[in-house]
């Protein structure tokens, strides 16, 4: 295990291992300035590339996901979209060559703020250049080039992945034939900016963050955990929680008089235990600095930077058919944002299938309501 000058453990990446990692550039230049040497991207693939290389499905992920979208013979662990992707599933690896890419800047194998700077033999931390969604798209494009893929049959992106897909489809418009965009936006709402800004503030104000120079053995767990809980209040919906939890008490309730749950091991209501349970899992795998970089990139993203207007920018895409899915209970990426994408692509000449689903699980619905999403996605893919 590598150690830094203060004898602190240095991880290459802290999270889940990706099946493959490829060096995509000797020098990678970032859009807002700065460059890095030896940039690598982690990815996984499923299925077989056909002889005409015309069956490629590329999946970009949300902020916190790895490239492990579904299980495989190399990694039997369930993926983050296990029921959606795989042999015979809606995104069918029997028919398609599927590539899921770990976002540049994420701690699950791609070059990121936890990667080692070869010059200093220290992790980049905050010396990592300012990261934008466009940098992610360029890194993904370069990876696909290295893999010999120039034509994407279907580019799939939920949430941040959808932002990356929009950037990609504008910047590399000859490469994307069809797209499936889920619960995403051409730019963030001020509500989404507020939530993310607060998440970053909570991490930064954790004394263990130490201006980015935390020990990897003692990272800012409180900050990351609370940021994740805050995120969850925007990922799910009030209606779903009312149905699932109501005012149920936590079974592990063992609160001491007036402790206000100080030790963080017990919470009075089930909704509190649920948040704690999921946020603790997250705090143990996700790097704080990576979180800051990815989160800020989402605030900065604005399709209209690529033209005179959002419409003008999206007119630069060459997408034949698009499936755009929104969810009525999504507060983080409200459905009017998906409708805007649908209308702009329609104007740009794309055949658009816009679906507004009544799922109750908010922004996360695509991860939960596989039945509703699966049907739409399967139908769309069969229509191509």
Active site residues: 159, 330, 363
Query: For tokens 């104007």, what's the residue?
Result: 347
Stretch near a second copy under the rule CB under 8 A, chosen from 8-16, 132-140, 144-152, 221-229:
221-229
Taking residue 209's Cβ as centre, other Cβ atoms within 10 Å add up to 20
Q: Is 207 in the site for a second copy (CB under 8 A)?
A: yes
What SS3 string covers 36-91? EEEEEEEEEEECCCCCCCCCEEEEECCCCCCCCCCCCCCCCCCCCCCCCEECCCCE
Rule CB under 8 A: is residue 230 a binding residue for a second copy? yes
The SS3 assignment for 133 reads helix
Interface residue with a second copy among 171, 193, 318, 370 (CB under 8 A) is 193
Q: Is 190 in the site for a second copy (CB under 8 A)?
A: yes
* Cβ atoms within 10 Å, residue 221: 17
Site string for a second copy, 240-259 (x = CB under 8 A): -xx-xxxx---------xx-
d(CA 145, CA 280): 38
| Concatenated DSSP letters of 87-114 | TTSSEETTT-EEEEEPPTT-SSSSS-TT
How large is the angle between the packed helices 288-300 and 190-204, nearest 10 degrees? 160
Q: Which of 11, 261, 307, 374 binds a second copy (CB under 8 A)?
A: 261
Whichever of 248 and 375 has its CB closer to a second copy, that residue is 248
Strands 56-60, 152-158: pairing is: parallel
* Cα(118)–Cα(360) distance, integer angstroms: 47
Which residues from 137-176 bind a second copy, rule CB under 8 A? none
Cα dist from 343 to 240, 315, 351, whole Å: 29, 11, 10
From 264, 309, 379, 383, residue interacting with a second copy (rule: CB under 8 A): 264
Contact stretch for a second copy (CB under 8 A) within 2-10, 86-94, 191-199, 348-356: 191-199
With binding defined as CB under 8 A, does residue 267 bind a second copy? yes
The minimum distance between CB 343 and a second copy, in angstroms, equals 17
CB nearer to a second copy: pick between 44 and 276: 276
275/323 with CB nearer a second copy: 275
Interface segment toward a second copy; rule CB under 8 A; list 7-15, 124-132, 149-157, 171-179: 124-132
Binding-site string for a second copy from residue 63 to residue 82, where x marks contact by CB under 8 A and - marks none: --------------------
> CA-CA distance, 221 to 196, in Å (whole number)?
17
Q: Which residue, 46 or 241, is less far from a second copy as judged by CB?
A: 241
CB nearer a second copy, residue 35 or residue 205: 205
- Kindly tell me the burial class for residue 151, based on how many C-beta atoms sit within 10 Å of its own C-beta (0-12, 13-18, 19 or more): middle
To a second copy, the closest distance from the beta carbon of 309 in angstroms equals 13
Q: Is residue 211 part of the contact set for a second copy (CB under 8 A)?
A: yes
Which of 53, 27, 54 lies closest to 38 in space, CA to CA? 27
- What is the closest distance, in whole angstroms, from the C-beta atom of residue 39 to a second copy in the complex? 18
How many CB atoms within 10 Å of residue 32? 11
- Report the nearest approach of a second copy to the CB of residue 65 (Å): 22
Establish if 328 lies at the interface with a second copy (CB under 8 A): no
294 belongs to the binding site for a second copy (CB under 8 A): no
CB 199 within 8 A of CB 227: yes
> Is 130 one of the binding residues for a second copy (CB under 8 A)?
yes
Residue 12 within binding range of a second copy, rule CB under 8 A = no
Residue 35 binds a second copy (CB under 8 A): no
- Joined together, the tokens standing for residue 279 give 């946020």
H/E/C letters for each residue in 285-339? CCCHHHHHHHHHHHHHCEHHHHCCCHHHHHCCCCCCEEEEEEECCCCCCCHHHHH
Asked whether position 201 contacts a second copy by CB under 8 A, the answer is yes
Q: Based on the shown chain and the rule CB under 8 A, indicate whether residue 308 belongs to the binding site for a second copy.
A: no
Contacts of 212 (CB under 8 A, 6+ apart): 113, 125, 126, 289
3-state secondary structure of 26: strand
Residue ranges in contact with a second copy by CB under 8 A: 126-128, 130, 187-191, 193-195, 197-198, 200-202, 204-207, 211, 222, 226, 229-230, 232-233, 238, 241-242, 244-247, 257-258, 260-262, 264, 267-272, 275, 292, 296, 299, 302, 331, 334
């Amino acid at each position: 295990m590598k150690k830094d000058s203060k004898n602190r453990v240095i991880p290459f990446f802290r999270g889940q291992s990706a099946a493959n990692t490829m060096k995509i550039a000797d020098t990678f230049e970032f859009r807002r300035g700065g460059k890095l040497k030896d940039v690598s991207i982690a990815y996984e693939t499923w299925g077989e590339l056909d002889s005409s290389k015309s069956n490629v499905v590329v999946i970009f992920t949300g902020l916190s996901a790895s490239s492990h979208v579904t299980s495989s013979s190399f990694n039997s662990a369930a993926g983050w979209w296990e029921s959606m992707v795989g042999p015979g599933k809606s995104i069918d690896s029997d028919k398609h060559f599927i590539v899921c890419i770990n976002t540049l800047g994420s701690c699950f194998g791609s070059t990121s703020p936890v990667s080692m700077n070869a010059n200093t033999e220290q992790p980049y931390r905050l010396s990592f250049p300012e990261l934008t969604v466009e940098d992610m798209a360029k890194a993904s494009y370069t990876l696909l080039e290295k893999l010999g893929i120039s034509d994407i049959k279907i580019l799939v992106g939920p949430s941040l992945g959808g932002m990356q897909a929009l950037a990609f489809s504008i910047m590399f418009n000859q490469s994307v034939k069809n797209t499936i965009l889920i619960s995403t936006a051409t730019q963030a709402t001020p509500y989404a900016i507020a939530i993310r800004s607060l998440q970053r503030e909570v991490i930064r104000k954790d004394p263990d963050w130490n201006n980015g120079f935390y020990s990897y053995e003692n990272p800012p767990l409180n900050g990351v955990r609370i940021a994740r809980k805050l995120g969850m209040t925007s990922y799910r919906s009030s209606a779903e929680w009312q149905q699932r939890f109501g005012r149920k008490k936590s079974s592990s309730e063992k609160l001491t008089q007036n402790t206000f749950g100080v030790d963080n091991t017990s919470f009075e209501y089930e909704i509190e235990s649920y948040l704690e349970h999921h946020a603790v899992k997250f705090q143990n795998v996700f790097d704080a600095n990576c979180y800051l970089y990815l989160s800020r990139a989402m605030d900065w993203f604005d399709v209209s930077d690529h033209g005179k207007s959002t419409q003008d920018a999206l007119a630069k895409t060459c997408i034949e058919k698009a499936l755009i899915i929104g969810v009525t209970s999504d507060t983080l990426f409200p459905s009017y944002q998906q409708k805007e994408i649908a209308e702009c692509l329609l104007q740009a000449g794309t055949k658009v299938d816009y679906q507004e689903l009544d799922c109750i699980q908010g922004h996360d619905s695509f991860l939960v309501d596989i039945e509703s999403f699966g049907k739409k996605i399967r139908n769309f893919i069969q229509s191509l």
